[in-house]
Structures are given as structure tokens and as C-alpha cells.
């Protein structure tokens, strides 16, 4: 029997996550969506990760404040674009995330929303917030690397 390849297409990425947080672990989770939300994602509707986070409540993982633009052709009343959505994870993954997120400084954030074999998946990450001086140091190192590459590129000529 031939294994079928997973077809993965990115819908949206949380680019701010790598800047503001140090990513420690990543998990793939299913997400419970309503029909108009899926239609909106298929039509490349707007998705925003601004202020979105994951919270574990009563043994279930919930994604808060993920904005999915309402589907404009919905016949029924479209759901609230910022409503909390249930995440589908294994119980042991939920318990691990709960234990880690209760430690000081740790949080769970969504990093990516994508299609995988016609299902919407969300990549969540256990993250620790960076301090302002850490972010500044990272920007300085990035600028130094860019400058060094520019100098090396200029000197090597054939």
C-alpha cells in the first residue's frame, strides 16, 4: 500500500511570535470551526493572530481572540469573528501544556494556521516571553550578521 503524502498549505502565520517569544515546543492541533468560518478561510479571508492565546479550561484547550473574517455570503448569521474555539489535542498533550503553562513566564500561543489534507490545523507553541533587552540584542546581532554578509559578498569577485 502506498502512503499518501500530506498536502500542507499555509493560511496564515504569526510572524510576531518569533520576535516577542522564545519558542520552546510546538504542537499540531485540530480546530473546531463552523461552516462560514471554513468558507471564509477557503476564500482567503483575513486571519489575525493579534492578542490570541491558548488557555486550558476543564481539561480542554481553547483558542481565544483568533480573528477569522466573517464569510460575506453566509445565509445564516455568521459566528463572532473573535469567539473562542476548541482545539483538538490528545489528553496527555493538554495535561503537559497545562503543567508547563502554569509555570511563571510561560504561555501557549498559536503560531500558524494551515490546511492539511483539507482539514484546518493550527500550530501552537509553548513559549516564554522575551525581555526588551533580549529583543534589542537579537536585532543588533541580526544587523551585524547582515553587515558581515554584505562585506563578504562585496570582496568576493570572480
First to last CA, the chain: 52
Q: 123 in a domain, yes or no? A: yes
Once rounded to an integer, what is the mean pLDDT over residues 27-34?
92
CATH number at residue 33: 2.40.280.10
Residue 35 lies in a domain: yes
**44 within some domain:** yes
Q: Quick check: is 3 in a domain?
A: no
* Residue 108, CA distances (Å) to 6, 29, 33, 102 in order: 26, 12, 20, 10
Binned at pLDDT 50, 70 and 90, residue 87 comes out as very high
* pLDDT on residue 71: 87
Residue 156 placed within a domain:
no
76 within some domain: yes
C-alpha closest to that of 20 among 149, 110, 134, 116: 134
Domain range spanning residue 60? 8-130
Cβ neighbours of 122 (radius 10 Å): 25
Bridge partners of residue 54, in order along the sequence: 63
CB atoms within 10 A of CB 40: 24
Q: Does any domain span residue 157?
A: no
Dihedral pair phi/psi, residue 86, rounded to 5°: -75, 140
What's the number of domains the chain is made of?
A: 1
Domain-located, residue 155: no
Residue count of the chain, please give it.
158
Amino acid at each position: 500500500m502506498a502512503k499518501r503524502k500530506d498536502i500542507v498549505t499555509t493560511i496564515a502565520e504569526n510572524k510576531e511570535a518569533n520576535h516577542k517569544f522564545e519558542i520552546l515546543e510546538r504542537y499540531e492541533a485540530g480546530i473546531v470551526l463552523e461552516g462560514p468560518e471554513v468558507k471564509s478561510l477557503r476564500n482567503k479571508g483575513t486571519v489575525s493572530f493579534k492578542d490570541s492565546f491558548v488557555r486550558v479550561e476543564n481539561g480542554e484547550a481553547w483558542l481565544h481572540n483568533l480573528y477569522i473574517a466573517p464569510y460575506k455570503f453566509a445565509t445564516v448569521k455568521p459566528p463572532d469573528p473573535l469567539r473562542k474555539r476548541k482545539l483538538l489535542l490528545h489528553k496527555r498533550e493538554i495535561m503537559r501544556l497545562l503543567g508547563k503553562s502554569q509555570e511563571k513566564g510561560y504561555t501557549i500561543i498559536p503560531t500558524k494556521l494551515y490546511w492539511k489534507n483539507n482539514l484546518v490545523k493550527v500550530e501552537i507553541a509553548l513559549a516564554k516571553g522575551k525581555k526588551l533587552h533580549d529583543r534589542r540584542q537579537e536585532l543588533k546581532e541580526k544587523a551585524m550578521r547582515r553587515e558581515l554578509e554584505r562585506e563578504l559578498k562585496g570582496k568576493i569577485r570572480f
